[in-house]
Amino acid sequence: MNSTSYASNSPSVSKHDVCIQQAGIDFGIAHCLDGTTYSFVDDYSRKLRAAVKLVPQIFNGRPMFFSEHDLDGLTGRLKLCRTLPSADRDDVSVIDVLLRTLLSSRFNQLVSTMADRREMGVFIRDLCEQARHEGDRTQAVARANQWQHKSSASWMSIEPAVEAAFSSNTPVLAHKVALLRKTFMPANEQAAYLLHERVTANESLFQQEMSGEKVHRQPDILHRPSIALIQDDLHTLRDCLDRAASIKNLLRGGVITVNFSRVHGFYLSVVLLADGRNNSESKDLADGVDRLWDEVTDGDGYVHHWREPQCFWCGLIEPHDTARKAALMLELECRALREKYVRAKGSEVLPTFTLIQPATAGAQHKDYHYA
């Protein structure tokens, strides 16, 4: 990608690596009805990182000359990218162009025949030229920058919001919850594992289709919440928060995000930053969220309350606790930036990152800000 893809105030490269890693973790999380939470860890983050490192080399507009060292790195990254596509996800346009060019090529066949270095070098150069040509034809870089503007705007809104929450120099209660519907959740670890296996099989079929191979069966139909249902739940949640004085009056800020799990699909996640001066407020806040989500879902709601040690920054954060404040900031930044390169299919119609303004700002601002 060219130099316009990141502004001068973009986060550091290392922070992007953390966000890419977190995107892989988020996709693999499974919440179960028995109260357990599992994370199916695979090499998705490595694959996405490989694609992210490849696209600047292809779309920077400069002539393509690869040293032997470059060639080894390119070959390794292209191998990883071949199993990146999924019917559940949309990749940013420059990555999508690369993957479609790669999967329809004879790259895999060439690698398996142990092609000599010169032949491989010529092939990879041609492959990259094809991807660049297709990217130019479809204005992939311009579309990528437009896509990434949303996540960059969300990222830039986080620091002022967190600083405002701590501005009174008193403790802040940080509460993180996952909000799901029981109808779509696996019962336990075994059920989650079986769903994960079905998703993996579907991804394999999707990659075969992209490669031009004949597919002899249809992908499994997975029981997941629809975009319309998530949209309704999000809208109702915001309305209920406005009316829930027991929660609203405590709030110093927060974030609502639309999350996606490969196991059970879309769900909502909320980080609430509340006044932490009263010891009873933690239980009051948790109970209030439980009641509110039960109302939103007409009794079909499930709430997972993240706590230590699952989440380092959850709980009471003192104003001088820079480590936990930094961890909170990093998680919110990851939530904002995880859609910089990939997003769940269909999520483009949703406000996937919504700032909750504190109750004291109600007279001057709208209650919700779509960053």
From 146, 178, 210, the end of a domain falls on 146
Based on the domain organization, do 190 and 117 belong to the same domain? no
Based on the domain organization, do 118 and 221 belong to the same domain? no
pTM of this structure = 0.89
Q: Name residue 268's beta-bridge partners.
A: 179, 258
In this predicted structure, what is the pLDDT of residue 114? 66
In this predicted structure, what is the pLDDT of residue 122? 87
Instruction: Retrieve residue 249's tokens.
Output: 């009056």
Based on the domain organization, do 239 and 222 belong to the same domain? yes
Based on the domain organization, do 152 and 121 belong to the same domain? no
Based on the domain organization, do 60 and 187 belong to the same domain? no
Based on the domain organization, do 128 and 215 belong to the same domain? no
In this predicted structure, what is the pLDDT of residue 371? 40
Report, as ranges of residue numbers, the positions in the chain whose pLDDT lies below 50: 1-10, 361-371
Based on the domain organization, do 156 and 217 belong to the same domain? yes
From 90, 117, 146, the end of a domain falls on 146
In this predicted structure, what is the pLDDT of residue 110? 83
pLDDT tens per residue, range 297-317: 999 999 999 988 889 999 999
pLDDT tens per residue, range 275-302: 998 877 788 899 999 999 999 999 999 9
Based on the domain organization, do 142 and 160 belong to the same domain? no
In this predicted structure, what is the pLDDT of residue 362? 42
Residue ranges making up the domain that contains 36? 3-146
In this predicted structure, what is the pLDDT of residue 12? 53
- What are the helix (H) ranges across the chain? 13-28, 44-59, 68-81, 93-103, 107-112, 117-138, 140-165, 189-210, 227-243, 245-248, 281-296, 322-337
Based on the domain organization, do 114 and 159 belong to the same domain? no
From 146, 179, 204, the end of a domain falls on 146
In this predicted structure, what is the pLDDT of residue 11? 52
Based on the domain organization, do 208 and 74 belong to the same domain? no
Amino acid found at 46: R
Based on the domain organization, do 159 and 138 belong to the same domain? no
Q: Is 355 helix (H, G, I), strand (E, B) or coil?
A: strand
In degrees and rounded to multiples of 5, residue 270 shows phi and psi of -130, 135
Number of domains in the chain: 2
Instruction: Retrieve residue 180's tokens.
Output: 């799901």
Query: How far, in Å, CA of 70 to CA of 347, rounded?
Result: 36
Q: Scan for tokens 């953390």, then name that residue.
A: 18
Based on the domain organization, do 264 and 338 belong to the same domain? yes
